[in-house]
Each structure stands twice: as C-alpha cells, then as structure tokens.
Amino acid sequence: MTQAAGASAPGAAARGRARLRLPHLKLNDDGQRHPVENSLSVFTVVAGLVACVLGFLAYQDVSGAWTHVGATWLGLITLIVGLPAQLISATRSERMLIVTGLVAAFVGVSLGLAHGGLLP
C-alpha cells in the first residue's frame, strides 16, 4: 500500500506541532542514579514541611493537644535523617531539597517545643 505524493504520514501533523514543555524536578543532575540519596532528600523535605505545618497548627491552638507532639517528634526525626543525608548528597538539587526540609523541620521543632514539648 503506497501513499499519494501529496499525502503526509499519519504522525507528521503531531510531530509538526510545538509541544509545551513544562519544567520538571530532576534530582540526578550528573546523569547517574542515586536512589538512596533521592529518597532521603524527598523524605526530608516532605517530613520537614509536615512538621512545620503541625508546628503552626500547635501555634494557633486549632487542632488539639497532639499537634505539638507530632511537630516535635517528626521534626526531630527529620533533623536526625536530614543532617546525614546532607553529608552524603550527590547533587545540588538534592542539597536544595534537604536544606529546605531541614529549615522547615527546625521551625516545626521550635514551635512544637514552645507550645508543649515532646509529651502531651
């Protein structure tokens, strides 16, 4: 089956359109895989942000007596995991996430300790 001279291939129209490329987070800037370092950096930033949010909830006294406990313990765990992760991180992107998580964890720990401490 042959195509006519004026007809184009089925995918030619799709290839001709300009695609919108959205920026994405790439932790492996050096082209090598770092699964342990990547997972530690993602854990640090997520847990640090959760600790920070719990600390602000404890600061506002809107969600009960257990938010300061969660903020304090989760922030301490994040600091204990994040500080060694900073030492073994391999790329700049990992370090940026880890530092963001560490700062958020410190804020969560500080607010948790200021509003009740480690125990209810």
CA dist 19 and 69 (Å) reads 48
Rounded to an integer, the average pLDDT of 5-10 is 56
Burial class (CB in 10 A: 0-12, 13-18, 19+), 84: exposed
Model pTM score: 0.77
Type of residue at 118: L
Phi, psi of 115 (to 5 degrees): -120, 25
* pLDDT digit string, tens, across residues 11-39: 555 566 777 776 666 788 888 888 999 99
* pLDDT digit string, tens, across residues 55-97: 999 888 777 778 899 999 999 999 999 999 999 999 999 999 9
Task: State yes or no: pLDDT of 1 exceeds 70.
Answer: no
The confidence score (pLDDT) of residue 43 equals 97
In the chain, where are the structural domains located?
34-114
Handedness of CA 95, 98, 94, 96 (dihedral sign): negative
